[in-house]
Structure 1
Amino acid sequence: MNISVIIPFFNGFDFFAETLLSIARQTYNVQQIIVINDGGGHEAEEFLSNFNGIKIINLEKNQGPSAARNIAIKLVTSEWIAFCDADDIWQPSKLEQQVKFMSENTIFSACHTGVTTFNQEGDIATFIDKPYDLQLSEAIEISYVTPPSLLIKKSALEQVNYFDTQLKCSEDHDLTIRILEQGYKIGFVNQPLIKVRRMNHGNITSNGRNILKGNLQLFKKNYHIYKRYDGARTLFLYRAFMTAGGKSQGLERKILFTIGKVISLTNPHLR
């Protein structure tokens, strides 16, 4: 399997070397590593030029990770694509185990892995309890697939028209839904093969308001799917408001939690 790795880069100076090293140390070699300098200007260009073995694409203006990934996807020459963020870490056997999984389970067009979140103090949590064969009815509930864990056929991304650049927070969740809706299958390797950094260094998910806005955009866009499944709409909205509340403070936190609890009263499974 020929694999290209895509890394959006915007102000990721502090951790990029560690991220790139984790890819270089993979026990399965990649065909190319494409780094998209997403509007970081000359400073980012100069910084990235210090690293060997990467293809750099410089964008004049910051367009966000979805647009950056889409630009790189269209330039990829390999059949398979893996994504990594500029501050996350792959375990050495990540790709090897995914390639083995895909070779043994040819029904899948993509697979993702378990995740360990961490910060400057150490590991926070590990997530390996996910569906082996993700179904659309499961995918609309919560976001199971995080891009740095995903290995996918380029043709599947082309078929669903890439990441939606209009979504600013839930674009990975939306991509998963559209992949499954088109009939592609996503498998799961139940080992924590990536480490996702959780720090207050501009990560959009640290802002409860942005999380809620992204989730509501996702819900509106895919409403035709949510209404197919009994209770799916209220379950998603409940989780959206409760998650946003957990990322908020003060009065806003109380309001979001209250709305979530009111929504739960309309769903017997949440009472």
Structure 2
Amino acid sequence: MQISVVIPFYNDYDFFPEALASVRRQSYQVAEVVVVNDGADQKSRQFLGQFDDITVIHLPENSGSAAARNVGIIAAVSSWIAFLDADDVWMDNKLAMQVKFLKDNPHFDGCHTGVCTFNQDGILNTYLNKPGNLKISDMLIDTHVLPSALMIRRQALLDINLFDVKFRCKQDQELTLRLAVSGYQVGFINQCLMKLRRMDHGNTTSSGHKILAGAWQMLRKHRNLYRQYPGTTAKFIYFSLMTAGGKMHGLERKSCFMLGKTMARVFPSLRSLAS
């Protein structure tokens, strides 16, 4: 099973060496590592030029992670794609476990893994409570699949026209929703095989705004699907409000949490989520 690793890069100088090292340590060797330099300047060109075992594609302007991943997918030589963000880290057996899972379960077109969040002090939380086989209703509600945890057939991504570059947030949820709608099956390995970095190296309030903007895009683009699956709209809005609120401050934070709690009182299906 030949695998290409696609890594979008944008000013991730402090974390990229650790991410790349986790690829090099894999017990299952990859065919190539494609790094897409999303907004190339002299500094990033020189930095990435020091790594001689990667393929680097330089984009003249910053276009966002969705566009960068699409460029990497198109350029990849392998039948399978594994994504890794430049500030995340894989466990040493991550790809080997995914290859075994997919060989044991050939009806799946891809699989993702459990996630551990971490910072400079170590592991913070572990997330293993995910559906064993993603369904449309699951993907309408929440982001279950993180790119750094996903390995997928390249052809499946091409068949659904790749990531939607209009999304700057929730593009991973939107992609996996379209995979489910198109009949592609994504399984789940109930082990933490990927570490997601949690560190304030960006504007957290801006991240909250992006989450709400991405939620609005999801609702507009897939409004017909939300109508077909009663109850998913309220749950999706609730999760989006609570997640966005957690990344905001002051009145905006309070407003998101207040709206979420109000929804939980109005919609009985949300009460167990809010308890």
TM-score, normalised to structure 1, is 0.96
| SS of the residue 2:266 aligns to | coil
Number of the residue aligned with 2:26: 26
Q: CA deviation at 1:268?
A: 1.6
**Residue 265 of structure 1: how far off its partner (Å):** 3.6
Q: Is the 8 A contact 1:169 1:210 kept in 2?
A: yes
How many angstroms apart in 1 are the aligned matches of 2:196 and 2:243?
Answer: 18
* Structure-2 residue corresponding to 1:226: 226
When structure 1 is superposed on structure 2, of 105-114 and 243-252 the one drifting more is 243-252
| Equivalent residue, structure 2, for 1:182 | 182
Residue 200 of structure 1 contacts residue 206 of structure 1 at CA under 8 Å; is this kept in 2? no
Q: Indicate the SS of the match to 1:140.
A: helix
How far the C-alpha of 1:266 sits from its partner, in A, is 3.5
Letter in 1 for 2:19: T
| Alignment partners' CA distance in 2, 1:247 and 1:101 | 35
1:125 aligns with 2:125: yes
Letter of the 2:221 counterpart: K
Gap runs ≥5 in structure 1: none
The match for 1:9 is 9
Query: Where in structure 2 are there 5+ consecutive unaligned residues?
Result: none
Kindly report which structure 2 residues correspond to 1:37-116, keeping only aligned pairs within 5 A, or say none: 37-116=37-116
1:123-162 map, 5 Å: 123-162=123-162
Distance 1:204 1:231 in 2: 29
CA RMSD of aligned residues (A): 1.4
Partner Cα distance (1:214, 1:46) in 2 = 33
Question: Secondary structure at the residue paired with 1:107?
Answer: coil
TM-score (norm 2): 0.95
The CA deviation at 1:202 is 2.5
Kindly state the Cα deviation for residue 66 of structure 1 after the two structures are TM-superposed: 0.6
Output aligned runs, 1:250-261, within 5 Å.
Answer: 250-261=250-261
2:207 corresponds to 1:207: yes
Structure 1 residues 253-262 or 168-177, which shifts more?
253-262
Shift in Å, 1:138: 1.4
How high is the sequence identity, in percent, across the aligned residues? 46
For the Cα contact (< 8 Å) 2:26–2:92, is it kept in 1?
Answer: yes
Equivalent residues, number: 271
Paired residues of 1:98 and 1:151 also in contact (CA < 8 A): yes
Partners of 1:210 and 1:63 lie apart in 2 by: 15
TM-fit CA distance, 1:111: 0.2
SS in 2 for 1:207: helix
Conservation of the 8 A alpha-carbon contact between 2:205 and 2:249 = no
Moved more, 234-243 or 156-165: 234-243
C-alpha separation between the residues in 2 aligned to 1:173 and 1:262?
Answer: 25
Could you say which residue in structure 2 is the equivalent of 1:245?
A: 245
| Equivalent AA in structure 2 for residue 173 of structure 1 | Q
